A and B are shown apart, each in its own frame.
Chain A
Amino acid sequence: MINALTVEAKNSPEFLERLLRVCRHRGFTIQSINAEVNNTQHTTQINLTVCSERDISLLTKQIDKVVGVIGLTLLQQPENIKASA
Chain B
Amino acid sequence: MNGAHFVVQALKEQNVTQVFGYPGGAIMPLYDALYDGGVDHLLCRHEQGAAMAAIGYARSTGKVGVCIATSGPGATNLITGLADALLDSVPVIAITGQVPTHLIGTDAFQEVDVLGLSLACTKHSFMVQTAEELGSVIEQAFEIATTGRPGPVLIDIPKDIQVGPSVAHALAKLMNTEKTLNIAAIDQAKTMIRASQKPLIYVGGGVGMANAVSELRDLIAATEIPSVCTLKAIGCIKHDSPYFMGMVGMHGSKASNLAIQECDLLIAIGARFDDRVTGKLDEFAPNAKVIHLDIDAAEIDKLRQVTLSMTDDLKQVLPAITIKPNIEQWQQHIAEMKVQHVSRYDHPGEPIFAPALLRQLAQTMPADTVICSDVGQHQMWVAQHMFVDRPENHISSSGLGTMGFGVPAAVGAQVARPNDTVIAVSGDGSFMMNVQELGTIKRRKLPVKILLIDNQRLGMVRQWQKLFFNGRYSETILTDNPDFVTLASAFDIPGETIATKSQIDQALQRLLNSDGPYLLHVSISEEENVWPLVPPGAPNDRMMESVE
Binds A, one of B113-121, B274-282, B511-519: B113-121
Query: Which residues of chain B have C-beta atoms less than 8 A from A18's C-beta?
Result: 119
Contact pick for A21, options B120, B144, B296, B301, CB 8 Å: B120
Query: Which residues of chain A have C-beta atoms less than 8 A from B115's C-beta?
Result: 14
Interface residues of A in 1-33 (CB under 8 A from B): 13-14, 17-18, 21, 25
Query: Which residues of chain A have C-beta atoms less than 8 A from B302's C-beta?
Result: 58, 61
A57, CB-defined interface residue at 8 Å: yes
Contact B301 A57 (CB under 8 A): yes
Interface residues of B in 295-337 (CB under 8 A from A): 296-298, 300-302
Closest to A21 in B: B119
Interface residues on A, range: 10 to 19
Q: How far is the CB of B389 from chain A (nearest CB, A)?
A: 33
Contact pick for A64, options B119, B144, B297, CB 8 Å: B297
Contact B144 A67 (CB under 8 A): yes
Closest to B119 in A: A21
B124, CB-defined interface residue at 8 Å: yes
Contact B298 A64 (CB under 8 A): yes
Main SS class of interface, A: helix
Q: How far is the CB of B98 from chain A (nearest CB, A)?
A: 14
Closest to B303 in A: A58
A65, CB-defined interface residue at 8 Å: yes
Q: How far is the CB of B105 from chain A (nearest CB, A)?
A: 11
Contact pick for B124, options A21, A57, A64, A67, CB 8 Å: A67
Contact pick for B298, options A13, A21, A55, A61, CB 8 Å: A61
Alpha-carbon gap, A68 to B120, bound state (A): 16
Query: Which residues of chain A have C-beta atoms less than 8 A from B296's C-beta?
Result: 65
The number of inter-chain residue pairs (CB within 8 angstroms) is 28
Interface residues of B in 63-85 (CB under 8 A from A): none
Given contacts A61-B297, A64-B298, contact A14 B119 (CB under 8 A): yes
Query: Which residues of chain B have C-beta atoms less than 8 A from A17's C-beta?
Result: 116, 119
Contact B124 A25 (CB under 8 A): no
Alpha-carbon gap, A65 to B302, bound state (A): 14
Closest to B148 in A: A65
Closest to B301 in A: A57
Q: How far is the CB of B447 from chain A (nearest CB, A)?
A: 40
A76, CB-defined interface residue at 8 Å: no
Contact B120 A25 (CB under 8 A): yes
Query: Which residues of chain B have C-beta atoms less than 8 A from A55's C-beta?
Result: 301
Q: Could you give, for residues 112-136 of chain B, a 1 whenever the CB lies within 8 Å of some chain A CB and a 0 otherwise?
A: 0001100110011001000000000
Q: Could you give, for residues 39-61 of chain A, a 1 whenever the CB lies within 8 Å of some chain B CB and a 0 otherwise?
A: 00000000000000001011001
Closest to A22 in B: B119
Query: Which residues of chain B have C-beta atoms less than 8 A from A13's C-beta?
Result: 127
Query: Which residues of chain A have C-beta atoms less than 8 A from B116's C-beta?
Result: 14, 17
Q: How far is the CB of A64 from chain B (nearest CB, A)?
A: 7
Q: Could you give, for residues 282-299 of chain B, a 1 whenever the CB lies within 8 Å of some chain A CB and a 0 otherwise?
A: 000000000000001110
Contact B119 A65 (CB under 8 A): no
A62, CB-defined interface residue at 8 Å: yes
Q: How far is the CB of B399 from chain A (nearest CB, A)?
A: 15
Interface residues of B in 457-503 (CB under 8 A from A): none
Alpha-carbon gap, A67 to B137, bound state (A): 13
Closest to B300 in A: A61
Query: Which residues of chain A have C-beta atoms less than 8 A from B300's C-beta?
Result: 61
Q: How far is the CB of B353 from chain A (nearest CB, A)?
A: 42
Q: Could you give, for residues 62-81 of chain A, a 1 whenever the CB lies within 8 Å of some chain B CB and a 0 otherwise?
A: 10110100000000000000
Q: Could you give, for residues 140-165 of chain B, a 1 whenever the CB lies within 8 Å of some chain A CB and a 0 otherwise?
A: 00001000000000000000000000
Contact A65 B298 (CB under 8 A): yes
Alpha-carbon gap, A13 to B120, bound state (A): 17
Query: Which residues of chain A have C-beta atoms less than 8 A from B298's C-beta?
Result: 58, 61-62, 64-65
Closest to B116 in A: A17
Alpha-carbon gap, A25 to B121, bound state (A): 12
Closest to B140 in A: A67
Residues of A at under 8 Å CB distance from B?
A: 13-14, 17-18, 21, 25, 55, 57-58, 61-62, 64-65, 67
Provide 26 A-B residue pairs closer than 8 Å at the C-beta atoms, listed in order of the A residue: A13-B127, A14-B115, A14-B116, A14-B119, A14-B127, A17-B116, A17-B119, A18-B119, A21-B119, A21-B120, A25-B120, A55-B301, A57-B301, A58-B298, A58-B302, A61-B297, A61-B298, A61-B300, A61-B302, A62-B298, A64-B297, A64-B298, A65-B297, A65-B298, A67-B123, A67-B144
Residues of B at under 8 Å CB distance from A?
A: 115-116, 119-120, 123-124, 127, 144, 296-298, 300-302
Given A17-B119, A65-B297, A67-B144, 15 new contacts (CB under 8 A): A13-B127, A14-B115, A17-B116, A21-B120, A55-B301, A58-B298, A61-B297, A61-B298, A61-B302, A62-B298, A64-B297, A64-B298, A65-B298, A67-B123, A67-B124
3 closest Cβ pairs, A-B complex: A61-B298, A67-B124, A21-B119
